[in-house]
Amino acid sequence: MRSLLVILSLLFVLGGSGCQMFGKKKKEQAQKEAQHRKDSIRKAQEEAERAAELKLQAEQARKDSIAMAEEAQRRLYKFHIIVGSFKTPQYATAYNNLFSQKGYQTELIENEYNFQLVSIGSFKSWSSAVRELERIREEIEEAWIYIRQ
């Protein structure tokens, strides 16, 4: 009986330390998993930041290309038939809307003196602008040609 008691005592002692060892391994595994989750979250955040930065760069490139295209068009169509010139932007917008409603393809242009000019036609050449001006003056006597530099 005594030997049985010794054997049971030994098993209890060995079994107890085995549970502690198993508990340590479980704790280490949990710490590794937690670190792995933190690393995954950090990587996902970095990727999201990179994606947002790339999106901003793409948007800026799009805006730059639009601005370049508009500038190229401005240089190409530099003769404008003007029907009104205003210092107050609200008046220019109202006059612009009036001519839009009449069917003209209008554009508001700001000159070097900060006047808002209401244009109802843009042309590449002086001669075509003059021909159109003669036709338009039958309807709008005060129309004139502005040359955008």
> How far is 22 from 89, CA to CA, in rounded Å?
79
CATH number for domain 78-147, candidates 3.40.50.1450, 3.30.70.1070, 3.40.50.300, 3.40.50.2000: 3.30.70.1070
- Residue 144 has a pLDDT of 97
- Residue 64 has a pLDDT of 87
Domain boundaries, the chain: 1-76, 78-147
SS (H, E, C) 83-99: EEEECCHHHHHHHHHHH
Could you identify the residue written with the tokens 């502690």? 20
> How far is 76 from 90, CA to CA, in rounded Å?
28
- Residue 24 has a pLDDT of 73
- What stretches in the chain show pLDDT beneath 50? none
- Residue 135 has a pLDDT of 95
Tell me the per-residue pLDDT of 56-73, one tens digit each, with 9 for 90 and over: 999 999 888 888 887 777
